[in-house]
Amino acid sequence: DAKTTQPTSMDCAEGRAANLPCNHSTISGNEYVYWYRQIHSQGPQYIIHGLKNNETNEMASLIITEDRKSSTLILPHATLRDTAVYYCIVVNNNDMRFGAGTRLTVKP
Amino acid sequence: DSGVTQTPKHLITATGQRVTLRCSPRSGDLSVYWYQQSLDQGLQFLIQYYNGEERAKGNILERFSAQQFPDLHSELNLSSLELGDSALYFCASSGGTSGRARQYFGPGTRLTVT
């Protein structure tokens, strides 16, 4: 699976959009980009995934660049409950390999 | 609530002992995954089972083993425990065979080896 690079930590003001970047420059054509988050020590929670096109669901939006070498997860109106570690993972048919993720802290 | 259940929630045991962690997947999911999360290692994939058969193997030690039963629940067996095995152990399930399928994680079992 392709390796991903994410910032170690980010802060965001409550009510503002949180934009979490991820680099995956070695991604191959059949690999998907998945985002999960982990709040404190709970089990990771699926957020969104995509292949080429931008995706949106009730939780977030995923913007994938045209060359697919990077992506951005957007939480449109961050709340305090969005404070968590966010993992960007590139997956093909094999198992998911979690990196260190980005620790997002939403501040009042 | 993901629909995945894990027991026990907490487990404290001594070095050299053996423990069994149990996972019940979401109804209808055939794949079960096991992960270990320790403070210094992050979330590490251990092993995947699909419909009773081992499907993929990650960083699982030889002292650890797993199985998936006909009713699709899974057990992770950890033997000859060491202090470094203290960690959170998560089980996840999905409907598909590949890691590309969305995974649903359980609440985890916190293992403390003293």
Cβ-based contacts of A93 with chain B (< 8 Å): 98-100
Determine the pLDDT at residue A96.
79
Contact (Cβ atoms closer than 8 angstroms) between residue B64 and residue B46: yes
Q: What is the mean pLDDT of each run of 10 residues along chain B (114 residues)?
A: 95 98 96 91 89 92 97 98 97 82 94 97
Residues A49-63 pLDDT 10s: 999 989 999 999 999
Burial B48-60 (b: 16+ CB within 10 A, else e): bbbeeeebbebeb
Among A92, A93, A96, the residue with its CB nearest the CB of B103 is A96
Contact (Cβ atoms closer than 8 angstroms) between residue B21 and residue B78: yes
What the block records as the tokens of A57 is 């669901």
Contact (Cβ atoms closer than 8 angstroms) between residue A75 and residue A17: yes
pLDDT band at A1 (very low <50, low <70, confident <90, very high): low
Of B39, B7, B49, B46, residue with least CA distance to B24? B7
Quick check: B33 and A95 CB within 8 A? yes
Can you say how many angstroms the Cα of residue A52 is from the centroid of all Cα atoms in its chain?
15
Among A46, A87, A96, the residue with its CB nearest the CB of B99 is A96
Chain A positions with Cβ closer than 8 Å to B: 32, 34, 38, 41-46, 49, 87, 91-101
